[in-house]
Structure 1
Amino acid sequence: MQILMVAVVAIVLMTAGWRWQRRHDNAGIVDVLWASGVGAGAVLIALTGAGAAAPRILLAILGGAWAGRLALHIWRRVRDAEEDGRYRALRAHWHGNQGKFYLFFLFQAGLVLLFTLPFIAVGANPEPGMTLWLWAGLLIWLAAVAGETLADRQLTAFRADPANKGQTCRRGLWRYSRHPNYFFEWLHWFAYVALAAGSPIGWLAWLGPVVMFIFLRWISGIPYTEAQSLRTRGEDYRQYQRTTPMLFPWFPKSDPDSKSAAAKPEEPDIRGMK
């Protein structure tokens, strides 16, 4: 029953989003609606779950707040900007076929269902009161959402400066990871693993971090983002790739290509010496 309710909400949201993108030629709205749908799923499952009150209250608050922040952040980027390069490429590949775009939006509705499965595990958790696991989930959530918010703000501020056009952000968290926002988004899903500790279907909660890592690392996150960055920033982004960890934050390393170029002896200019 819970899955059916979330499915109806997701399909309605994505159908409305598909109609919006037809009018505005901007499929970026799908990201706003994905976050909104998952957040709505968290609240619905918290309200209808059979578990104890404490984990369900935390689920509603944390899942709803995470989704609201993310959806608002993406909406500010989508509403007045050109369509993201990933979706422009799809539009060109599909020659603007709206039937294919609608199937794409329905696929995103399916992803909403997939990412609400961890919430079902939390909603069924019978553990009463604020256990250590619930406190752990809250702390993980706070750290992850704070990190993702900081990374988003640093990148937004960098892009707002016209002097940085065509350059790669290496400020703040972006000095230590090429995708710190993705890292903290992935980390955030471990909060629901902790909130589901004690649930008879607690294993479902592990789908969150596992599936999110697969999507970010190999499917819809990093591959598309880096391909677009290489198209728009070229050698500057290649140098960033050589020196900065891809996902997990760590200290940047020196660029081996720049070292070899500096070590290469300069050839004499023999023009006019014959």
Structure 2
Amino acid sequence: MPPVAAAVIALVGLVLVFSAVWAWQLKSENAGMIDPVWVYSLGTVAVLYAVLGTGDPSTRALAALGGLIWGARLGTHLWRRNFGQPEDARYHRFREAWGDAAPRRMFWFFQLQVVISMLLSVAFLVPAYRSSEPATVWILLAVAVWIASVTGEGLADRQLRRFKNDPSNRGKVCRVGLWRYSRHPNYFFECVHWVSYILLSIGSPWIWLTLLPPVLMAWLLLKLSGIPLLEASLAKTRAGYAEYMRTTNALIPWPPRRSAGE
């Protein structure tokens, strides 16, 4: 099947899925479940492209497996974190700001997630349609980057979950493990994850398209929906977070700077 046709099928499927989640949140008044659904659906698109693609079978399989495992791991983490919990502060802030227009605006906000998903899915589409197998060195490097990034993101998520589950840490800033070196190590490894598909696409005339997903993800997390909204809330509600922001890199892990009192 031509890549455009595969992309159209993915687009229609995502629109239907996100519309269903929007309808569900009309009753629950909790938009937080869009996060795991977004990840699960994007992982499914990776498999869809591999099935419909006409490229090298081994490359298609690697892209599908990478997207599927990434989506299953991160989606399950977000599902456990959000299910049965109060609405994420980011979405609650939108709902309050939009007032009576919230249902309509939330619908289009959800459809914006479809657009973002389609742009990110280019990372899976290009390797699914490359005609030749990548050189062994690029395959090995792509697998290594994928393992390091998914493992690192999972480790950061577990460290933060353990910290939050300890009652003695209530109201404190997490500075354990990877969180000592980055305020958002999970976001860092999420960005790195998308680089693995660039390596898997080396040799394809469309490799330049795979540069978009990691750049887009970094921009979203650094400038739009990730760090800015999250830290605006944490700086006001979490004692010591402002100092944490002064001493610790936002994204790339790096030894912390000395605090103002040292």
How far, CA to CA, are the matches of 1:214 and 1:71 in structure 2?
21
Question: What residue in structure 2 maps to residue 11 of structure 1?
Answer: 15
Q: Give the conservation status (yes or no) of the 8 Å contact 1:133–1:197.
A: yes
- The question of whether the paired residues in 2 share the 8 Å contact of 1:182 and 1:247 is answered with yes
Residue 205 of structure 1 aligns with which residue? 210
Partner of 1:270: none
The residue aligned with 2:250 is 246
Q: TM-score, normalised by structure 2?
A: 0.95
Rounded Cα–Cα distance in structure 2 between residues aligned with 1:5 and 1:232: 44
Please show how residues 193-272 of structure 1 align to structure 2 within 5 Å.
193-234=198-239, 236-256=240-260, 258-259=261-262
- What amino acid sits opposite 2:38 in the alignment? W
Matches within 5 A, 1:1-274: 1-95=5-99, 97-128=102-133, 131-234=136-239, 236-256=240-260, 258-259=261-262
Alpha-carbon distance between aligned partners in 1 of 2:93 and 2:117, rounded to the nearest angstrom? 23
Unaligned 5+ residue runs, structure 2? none
Q: 1:241: Cα distance to partner?
A: 0.7
Q: 1:129 to 1:193 in 2, by over 3 A?
A: closer
Is the Cα contact below 8 Å between 2:172 and 2:238 reproduced in 1?
yes
Aligned-residue CA RMSD (Å): 1.3
Between Structure 1 and Structure 2, whose CA radius of gyration is higher? 1
SS of 2:99 mapped into structure 1: coil
Deviation, structure 1 residue 52: 0.4
1:200 Cα deviation after fit: 2.0
Alpha-carbon distance change, 51 to 168 in structure 1, aligned in 2, over 3 angstroms: same
Q: Unaligned stretches of 5+ in structure 1?
A: 260-274
Partner deviation per Cα, 1:62-110 (whole Å, 9 max, x = no partner): 1111011111100001112111111110010011521111111111111
Paired positions, count: 257
Deviation of residue 130 (structure 1)? 6.4
TM-score (norm 1): 0.91
